[in-house]
Amino acid sequence: MDWKEVLRRRLATPKTGPNKKKSEQELKDEEMDLFTKYYSEWKGGRKNTNEFYKTIPRFYYRLPAEDEVLLQKLREESRAVFLQRKSRELLDNEELQNLWFLLDKHQTPPMIGEEAMINYENFLKVGEKAGPKCKQFFTAKVFAKLLHTDSYGRISIMQFFNYVMRKVWLHQTRIGLSLYDVAGQGYLRESDLENYILELIPTLPQLDGLEKSFYSFYVCTAVRKFFFFLDPLRTGKIKIQDILACSFLDDLLELRDEELSKESQETNWFSAPSALRVYGQYLNLDKDHNGMLSKEELSRYGTATMTNVFLDRVFQECLTYDGEMDYKTYLDFVLALENRKEPAALQYIFKLLDIENKGYLNVFSLNYFFRAIQELMKIHGQDPVSFQDVKDEIFDMVKPKDPLKISLQDLINSNQGDTVTTILIDLNGFWTYENREALVANDSENSAELDDT
């Protein structure tokens, strides 16, 4: 008999006795119990085929809430133990020295100049003797990756050892950064990265001369570079993998070198001279000494030739406090203007140029900004250049997919984004572009005169 019919009959059965009358809720409960019973029996034929559902592993673990202190402590302790175990799995200095000794002992002649080589057979022998920690490095895949044009089918021992060193360093750094990952989700918040860099400062000899009172400004300066380039959507967090994949951490840890050249320090954003330069510029611009920059104060940045129209857009789009810019916002501004070839910097400037928020620049947008350049040219006694000529040059340089619109991706793909943005926002930059041929000729003449002397 169909279970529906059974259920109907059961519910239709008259109640016997005066005290047996059931409430509406009891009837609903009974109906649900019967439905569940008969439905389970009806599905009985599928029972065996669905047994596997009991073995599905749990894949979601809720993060402890802020008030669940015990669970938070347990989670932190578990992560610390896990990271310690991973750290013990890495090669230490003694094991690395032993690995180098084994590689040198099993080198395969002949040498290429002074470079020792090793073939695949000896490579596997070293892998057997080096111990379990080294097993991951002695694979056919690694050997093939390092194999280039050697006629004997060998790889360079030095290249392989450097590969191992790099891998060990990456894992050590990953573990070190993970210790500051408070959320335990594989990313660092701004405060996490600030703590990491603050505790790293004493280990960097090139920063020994920094006064402790400047530490907070140094940390802010260093952290902003990571977040400006690695967090374009401004989510307030960066993946640890992205930090390891970029070169910023290498630049920062380069400051461990006590003999780092002056030229290297000047080009390294994280060096003491660079940080002091950027902060010094900020203090020099802050004429009223209130710790913030107004539009008028920022107008003196660089060669003091940026247009008012562009500066208006900066203060419209960027985070300000009562119409003034703080040091953190200033750092984003500096990073954008000093790295105009980089996609993140072009994204920053493009947002300012896109006055209609349409996601592209059209003739109206270009004319809006270039008019201000023309006005500055008149003020400085120069003959204004025709907008039509400049507009045509810009579209010729960028070659956008749509002949009437320039998107951010068009700017990036053209490799001319720095030139285009400079033409539109800075009189000095436009003058340099407009007179580039004369400037090149002068440089050539000066070089020739120096050669003659």
Residue 453 has pLDDT above 60, yes or no: no
Distance of alpha carbon 299 from alpha carbon 308, whole angstroms: 8
pLDDT of residue 132: 93
Residue 452 has pLDDT above 80, yes or no: no
pLDDT of residue 44: 63
Distance of alpha carbon 170 from alpha carbon 176, whole angstroms: 10
CA distances from 420 to 18, 353, 437 (A): 93, 11, 17
The encoded tokens of residue 223 equal 């952290």
CA distances from 62 to 68, 77, 238 (A): 12, 17, 21
Domains and CATH numbers, the chain: 69-177 (1.10.238), 183-285 (1.10.238.220), 306-452 (1.10.238.10)
Q: Choose among 251, 281, 245: nearest CA to 268.
A: 251
Q: What is the mean pLDDT of residues 311-339?
A: 95
Q: What is the mean pLDDT of residues 222-246?
A: 95
CB within 8 Å of 162: residues ≥ 6 apart: none
Q: What are phi and psi of 186, to 5 degrees?
A: 90, 15
To 5 degrees, how large is the angle CA 14–CA 18–CA 22?
60
Q: Where are the alpha helices (DSSP H) in 295-399?
A: 295-298, 308-317, 327-338, 343-353, 363-379, 387-398
One-letter amino acid identity for 431?
W
Residue with structure tokens 């099993």? 106
Q: What are phi and psi of 180, to 5 degrees?
A: -100, 0
pLDDT of residue 328: 95
pLDDT of residue 167: 94
pLDDT above 90: percentage of residues in the chain: 71
pLDDT of residue 149: 87
Residue 15 has pLDDT above 90, yes or no: no
Beta strand 155-156 pairing with 117-118: antiparallel
pLDDT of residue 26: 85
pLDDT of residue 54: 63
* pTM assigned to the model: 0.79
pLDDT of residue 42: 72
pLDDT of residue 53: 59
pLDDT of residue 43: 67
Residue 13 has pLDDT above 80, yes or no: no
**What is the DSSP secondary-structure string of 16-69?**
-STT----HHHHHHHHHHHHHHHHHHHGGGGTGGGGGGGGPPP---PPPPTT-H
How high is the mean pLDDT of the chain? 89
Q: Are 374 and 387 in contact (CB under 8 A)?
A: yes
Q: What is the mean pLDDT of residues 245-253?
A: 93
Distance of alpha carbon 283 from alpha carbon 415, whole angstroms: 34
Is 207 strand, coil or helix? Answer: helix
Q: What are phi and psi of 19, to 5 degrees?
A: -95, 5
Task: Tell me the pLDDT tens digit for each residue of 282-305.
Answer: 999 999 999 999 999 999 999 999
Task: Tell me the pLDDT tens digit for each residue of 40-57.
Answer: 777 664 555 556 656 777
Confidence of residue 440 (pLDDT cuts 50, 70, 90): low
pLDDT of residue 37: 82
Question: How many Cβ atoms sit within 10 Å of the Cβ of residue 149?
Answer: 4
Residue 329 has pLDDT above 80, yes or no: yes
Q: What is the mean pLDDT of residues 358-383?
A: 94
Distance of alpha carbon 120 from alpha carbon 138, whole angstroms: 10
Q: What is the mean pLDDT of residues 217-234?
A: 95
pLDDT of residue 64: 86
Dihedral angle at the C-alpha atoms of 95, 101, 103, 104, nearest 10 degrees?
Answer: 160
The encoded tokens of residue 120 equal 């695949």
- Output 4 or 405, whichever has higher pLDDT: 405
